[in-house]
Amino acid sequence: MAVPSSDTLVFFGATGDLAYKQIFPSLLGLIREEGFSLPIIGVSLDGSLDKLKERARDSLEHHGALDQEASQKLMGLLHAVQGDYNDPATYQKLRQELGKSERPLHYLAIHPTMFVKVVEGLAKSGCSTNARVVLEKPFGRDLASARELNKILHQYFPEESIYRIDHYLGKEPVQNILYTRFANPIFEPILNRHHVRSIQITMAEDFGVEDRGKFYDEAGAIRDVMQNHMLQILASLTMDPYTGGDYESVRDEKARLFKAITPLTPKDVVRGQFNGYLSVPGVSPGSTVETFAAVKVAIDNWRWGGVPIFIRCGKELALTCTEVMVEFKRPPRESFGEIVPVLSSHMRARISPDISISMGLRVKKPGERMAGQDVELTFVRQAADDMPPYQRLLGDAMRGSAELFAREDSIEVQWRVVDGILGDVTPLYNYAPGSWGPEEAYQLIGKHGPWLNPRLPESKQ
């Protein structure tokens, strides 16, 4: 049965940083490429319609495309509601502005502490009837708060009307991992404990927290990207094939995979903080928030039981790159009497800054001797994602397609995985900007290492 599309987009936080950097450019893309033509209502404390349009123009100038026709159309679709989120009158003004709209989509591009207040305001004013709501991450701060937030949301919205954004799910290369696995039968027989020695996932950034000091100091690397982005990448790589043609079958398999991950304990994590973090504006004096985290993960099921999985993420590292490395086991016997590197057989999936899928193989060197060398064959290399993740996700939410959004049970299980390593449960090690994090991370990976540091193509260096 076809799901009805939303007929109005309402976004809270219309003059905020996320709207400026992501939402306005994504709306421009939807107008230009998909013929989007619905009313857009921006709600903010200080955003009159003139200010909202000025903010949108400035956003498109710095982050959007030079498309005069689409830009003018966007300005014509904009409406504004100015008011305090704590004031019931704001939601009454919104209800009036919605007019005859029957299926609005409310996008909460605001600080998570305001989610409950806004959802309650929508419900009490009648703005939640037949509506959908989109919420930004982080969805809660731990398992208990995520459960409480879900409980409150379900008082006003059914689960099928709640869209929890993890923008990594909207990235083309993350979807490419899932597609490549299940569209090519060569991968299914080898992605399991019988053939895989270990898995490494790295998300490295060569920059710091910039102007996000206060926000980042409330989150840290584990809450900011490990609990959501990194576990979603892991699920795309390791979940079982899904059956059925609807989006719930994909989310069912991801939820099943998350439930098989053994909850992390302090012995499974190394936390680090780059030198200079404490001088960032907004960071609390003496903060013990991590800007780097490395974890050892175990999936307790028949496919992956016994395969060590290592995930790391961090700020101010040697370069900016996100990639997955699957290391395959060597044959049970080296037939040619060589001392072969353990890491000579692998599959690499690069997510950013470029998109590529490669295989590492051992091939014969030219000559009479049966001696080999390691090579990497790249099957595909593409430019970075042309469609911004937020454009894809906003379009899907408007159409009622929830495949790329996190479901209640998955969110809670992801928090269960990291709940035991939140806060100051382990020491915090300092590391130099431009390095690959604290030395203690190498002790974590131990005999299963070393860490395989990404290398960028020459064109990206």
How high is the pLDDT of residue 76? 95
How high is the pLDDT of residue 461? 47
Q: Is the pTM of this model over 0.75?
A: yes
Rounded CA gap, 240 and 238, in Å?
7
How high is the pLDDT of residue 3? 79
Residue in this structure with the two tokens 């800054």, named with its chain if needed: 353
The per-residue pLDDT string of the chain (461 residues; one tens digit each, 9 = 90 and over) reads 567 899 999 999 998 888 888 899 999 999 998 999 999 999 998 878 999 999 999 988 887 666 788 899 999 999 999 999 999 999 999 999 999 999 999 999 998 889 999 999 999 999 999 999 999 888 899 999 999 999 999 999 999 999 998 888 888 888 888 888 898 898 888 999 999 999 999 999 999 988 888 889 989 999 999 999 999 999 999 999 988 767 788 899 999 999 999 999 999 999 999 999 999 999 999 999 999 999 999 999 999 999 999 999 999 999 999 999 999 998 888 777 777 777 778 999 998 888 888 888 888 888 878 887 888 888 776 665 567 888 999 999 999 998 889 899 999 999 999 999 999 999 999 999 999 999 999 999 999 989 999 987 654 54
Give 318-341 as a DSSP string: SS-EEEEEEEEPPPSS-TT-----
How high is the pLDDT of residue 458? 56
How high is the pLDDT of residue 64? 66
Cβ atoms of residues 221 and 293 within 8 Å: yes
Closest CA to 34 of 461, 392, 430: 392
β-strand partners of 310? 200, 296
Cβ atoms of residues 197 and 342 within 8 Å: yes
Q: 408-413 long-range CB contacts below 8 Å, 24 or more apart? A: 408/150, 408/159, 408/162, 409/255, 410/251, 410/254, 410/255, 410/258, 411/139, 411/140, 411/146, 411/150, 411/164, 412/143, 412/146, 412/147, 412/150, 413/255, 413/258, 413/259, 413/261
Catalytic residues, by residue number, are 229
Half-sphere exposure of 67 (CA within 13 A, CB side): 19
How high is the pLDDT of residue 426? 95
Sheet of 8-12, strand order: 78-82, 40-44, 8-12, 104-108, 132-135, 162-164
How high is the pLDDT of residue 377? 83
Count of positions (residues) in the chain: 461
